[in-house]
Structure 1
Amino acid sequence: MRRSIPLTAAALGITLALAACSGSADPADTETSAAAEATASGTLTMWVDDTRINEMEPVVAAFTEETGVEVELVQKASGDIGKDFVAQVPTGEGPDIIVSAHDGLGEWVNNGVVAPIELGDKAADFSDSAIAGVTYDGKIYGTPISIENIALVRNNALLTETTAATFDELVAQAKGTGTPFSVLIQQGEASDPYHLYPLQTSFGAPVFEQSADGSYTDTLALGGPAGDAFAAYLAKLGTDKVLDLNVDGEKAKQAFLDGQAPYMITGPWNTSAFAEAGMDISVLPVPSAGGQPAQPFVGVQGVFISAKSENPVLANELVVNYLSTEAAQDMLFAEGGRMPANAASAAKVEDPILKGFNDAGSTGAPMPAIPAMSTVWAFWGATEAQIISGQAEPASAWNTMVTNIQDAVDKV
């Protein structure tokens, strides 16, 4: 049953502000209790992409049923949400809330279009990587709702167990099956730094340094002796034909479907095709190549509030106090099948494939959301391609890449 709405948004905002200033209770608890007792009039507009709008519909319907606050869902192309958010919020035409991947956060903050939020104790309900993904310059800007990352996928028809402690041992074990490929890692003409990142981090060469709170700085960390060692390893993988620039994403996927490799490093976006083909697969962490943990990039899908929302209190009630809850994230999982960011909700997921990805990404690194990241990809991929193909001396090419990236970062 919908509750009546006796207060205006402004009145509720004043109530919350006075309660927070009293010092008699935790602000998050006060805000929740105030919102539970009274809801404000108004409608929220939320932008959602076409892959999430169906799963979000019943969730916001439940929110409306509980609070009386209407939420208008507007479908946008995923590639348009971030840029349209930046363009429209300053004009007053943008949404109250967006659902988006976290990697545009730095641009949104720099353009003043996204508002920080106070998760308070609720932050402890999420993994460190999920919170780091929605954190920028020490402030939290969104509620994480799902996470995804790459991992090692095994074809159980070719191998029934993985005993390798290192990536080299994994390659040797895979070659013992006699398949055309050992471990498929999609490449393409410009290589693929994203899919190679677990191997790179295992050498202690992450792309940027992170602060104590998990947010990224614009200080490069992929150079030095660790970077040189990874570059030499890339050259080795190219010489050994583990990596092949001719094998792009589609070719890698098809080769795995055809049983041409016992292993593939990929994400959950491909495993549905494997399941539909009747394959028996397992999902495992990527073994270390350089002696340190192999950390894949973790993508965090979050819900963010516009800095110019006409109903900031109501937006906060939906984003902070409702979508952060175990119940809401249970519902999102039931509708969309994506691994919840809420730890208690994720712990209830029984699908062994999703659990495997979650375990592999539990110590992963959130994709950097800082503007400097946009300068990295072209130099990074081109250099890796040169090293893998044997066209460049590894350490020299890698050090030149670091210099070029630093020059580009300094201009951001």
Structure 2
Amino acid sequence: MRRSIPLTAAALGITLALAACSGSSDPADTESSAPAEQAGGTLTMWVDDTRIDEMKPVVEEFTAETDIKVDLVQKASGDIGKDFVAQVPTGEGPDIIVSAHDGLGEWVNNGVVAPVELGDKAADFSESALAGVTYDGKTYGVPISIENIALVRNNALLTETPAATFDELVAQAKGTGTPFSVLVQQGDASDPYHLYPLQTSFGAPVFEQSADGSYTDTLALGGPAGDAFAAYLAKLGQEQVLQLAIDGEKAKQAFLDGQAPYMITGPWNTSAFEEAGMDITVLPVPSAGGQPAQPFVGVQGVFISAKSENPVLANELVVNYLSTEAAQDRLYEEGGRMPANSAAAAKVENPILQGFNEAGATGAPMPAIPAMSTVWAFWGATEAQIIGGQAEPAGAWNTMVTNIQDAIDKA
């Protein structure tokens, strides 16, 4: 499943504007060098409940520098995207939204988000960060932080040089005599997100990508590469490396209890490991199929409403301010998330976050295209059947690909 780092929202010092700005003008693509000529204006920014505390001091500093006020509106993380789609057309939406990138395709298709021009600032971000805010060849936001899964090692159990392949890793882990070798959370419906690095290592990504990194709706997880990955899933199930009974919480607790030397997980769990006094190292997931193991990369971005009454001011905040190394340094200081700005990320000294950043450097952005919503249920159910030994691997995988394609075609 897709995960984000949960943080507790504190009381807000900035006035929460419950009535957002309205308007019906469609902003043109605003150049990143445009000055904030309307200094003294007001912007409304929606921020979800996991990010609002870290954004508060950053926009306060922006206001002090520009005299542009920013009213922060706290939204539940599960509601912010759908409320954006529902309210922008009515004129009741915000000027700016801060959210994970995987709703971008829906926002573009509904005409609620405006493209931005990063210009030379694009060079300040990794390809995966930019791909997360790109749709159909256009850039629609500024990436501010990134997250992905990686391999976490319990150094009290194992400190050997990391294995070159996933099979070697399993063998290495089994040598410790722990109940589990490599913990990978599953559950009744499996977990394609946590298995994705292994899948991509067979050359079977979920969708094809264009030259600019944006996704097409052409499936790429079938064919011989998909068959090979399906066979490998069956093997891991037979060997009990993957167990459907081990969901996210059970995997986390087993790792905390020292029952495995390795776990594939994200930064949302490593804070608990550190708080428990564990000595851990974060490493890239080794390849199982011979190609690079690419985890999904989640990009947290800042996006401008297509109906903002203040597109120039919004551009000043989003493109000219929040993209900067200084602003992303401040966001990291407040929230502890790996900055998307490469220079800011390079200064992060936390070895755990450094490990995740290195593991995700060649990762694949989570697809933001509408077709992705069709994939998850078929994908997870099929992987569960294969891991549980209830289906012939290649046949089940090919049926899954056909069913996904049919569902996309009918959408």
Normalising by structure 1, we get a TM-score of: 0.92
Measure how far apart 1:51 and its partner are: 1.3
User: Which structure 2 residues correspond to residues 94-113 of structure 1 after superposition, within 5 A?
Assistant: 94-113=93-112
User: Which structure 2 residues correspond to residues 166-177 of structure 1 after superposition, within 5 A?
Assistant: 166-177=165-176
1:389 aligns with 2:388: yes
1:311 aligns with 2:310: yes
Amino acid at match of 2:87: Q
CA contact (8 A) 1:147 1:338 kept: yes
User: Which structure 2 residues correspond to residues 2-401 of structure 1 after superposition, within 5 A?
Assistant: 28-29=32-33, 31=34, 34-35=35-36, 38-401=37-400
Q: After superposition, what is the alpha-carbon deviation per residue over 1:368-402, rounded to whole angstroms, capped at 9, x for unaligned? A: 00000000000000000000000000000000000
Amino acid at match of 2:280: I
Measure how far apart 1:39 and its partner are: 4.3
Measure how far apart 1:162 and its partner are: 3.0
SS of structure 1 residue aligned to 2:328: helix
Aligned to 2:8: none
CA contact (8 A) 2:44 2:94 kept: yes
Within 2, Cα distance between the matches of 1:315 and 1:79? 24
SS of structure 1 residue aligned to 2:396: helix
Measure how far apart 1:42 and its partner are: 1.9
CA contact (8 A) 2:231 2:394 kept: yes
Counting matched residue pairs gives: 385
Within 1, Cα distance between the matches of 2:78 and 2:128? 23
Measure how far apart 1:145 and its partner are: 0.2
Within 1, Cα distance between the matches of 2:349 and 2:160? 21
Q: After superposition, what is the alpha-carbon deviation per residue over 1:177-222, rounded to whole angstroms, capped at 9, x for unaligned? A: 0000000000000000000000000000000000000000000000
Within 2, Cα distance between the matches of 1:107 and 1:275? 37
Within 2, Cα distance between the matches of 1:248 and 1:66? 48
CA contact (8 A) 2:54 2:331 kept: yes
CA contact (8 A) 2:41 2:67 kept: no
Displacement over 3 Å in runs of 4+: none
Structure with greater helix share of residues: 1
The worse-fitting range, judged by mean Cα deviation, of 159-168 and 287-296 is 159-168
Measure how far apart 1:41 and its partner are: 3.5
CA contact (8 A) 1:159 1:262 kept: yes
SS of structure 1 residue aligned to 2:78: helix
CA contact (8 A) 1:81 1:100 kept: yes
Within 2, Cα distance between the matches of 1:209 and 1:189? 28
Amino acid at match of 1:207: V
Aligned to 2:15: none
Within 2, Cα distance between the matches of 1:49 and 1:316? 20
Normalising by structure 2, we get a TM-score of: 0.92
Within 1, Cα distance between the matches of 2:164 and 2:184? 19
Within 2, Cα distance between the matches of 1:334 and 1:168? 38
Within 2, Cα distance between the matches of 1:44 and 1:166? 50
Within 1, Cα distance between the matches of 2:198 and 2:252? 20
CA contact (8 A) 1:39 1:68 kept: no
Amino acid at match of 1:361: G
Measure how far apart 1:163 and its partner are: 3.4
Within 2, Cα distance between the matches of 1:179 and 1:274? 18
SS of structure 2 residue aligned to 1:340: coil
Q: After superposition, what is the alpha-carbon deviation per residue over 1:307-332, rounded to whole angstroms, capped at 9, x for unaligned? A: 00010100000000000000000000
Residue segments in structure 2 that go unaligned for 5+ positions in a row? 1-27
Q: After superposition, what is the alpha-carbon deviation per residue over 1:131-175, rounded to whole angstroms, capped at 9, x for unaligned? A: 000000000000000000000000000001333100000000000
When the two chains are superposed, the root-mean-square deviation of aligned CA atoms in Å is: 1.4
Task: Using the aligned pairs only, state the percent identity.
Answer: 88
SS of structure 2 residue aligned to 1:181: coil
CA contact (8 A) 2:111 2:306 kept: yes
Q: After superposition, what is the alpha-carbon deviation per residue over 1:34-64, rounded to whole angstroms, capped at 9, x for unaligned? A: 33xx443421000011111111000000000
Within 1, Cα distance between the matches of 2:79 and 2:61? 27
Within 2, Cα distance between the matches of 1:162 and 1:102? 35
CA contact (8 A) 1:138 1:215 kept: yes
Aligned to 2:404: 405
Amino acid at match of 2:403: N
Within 2, Cα distance between the matches of 1:195 and 1:138? 28
CA contact (8 A) 1:101 1:299 kept: yes
Rg bigger for which structure?
Answer: 1
CA contact (8 A) 2:40 2:66 kept: no
Within 2, Cα distance between the matches of 1:129 and 1:221? 18
Within 2, Cα distance between the matches of 1:51 and 1:381? 27
CA contact (8 A) 1:149 1:357 kept: yes
Aligned to 1:8: none
SS of structure 2 residue aligned to 1:303: strand
CA contact (8 A) 2:166 2:286 kept: yes
Within 1, Cα distance between the matches of 2:215 and 2:107? 15
SS of structure 2 residue aligned to 1:300: strand
SS of structure 2 residue aligned to 1:48: strand
Within 2, Cα distance between the matches of 1:39 and 1:85? 25
Q: After superposition, what is the alpha-carbon deviation per residue over 1:254-302, rounded to whole angstroms, capped at 9, x for unaligned? A: 0000000000000000000000100000000000000000000000000
CA contact (8 A) 2:42 2:68 kept: yes
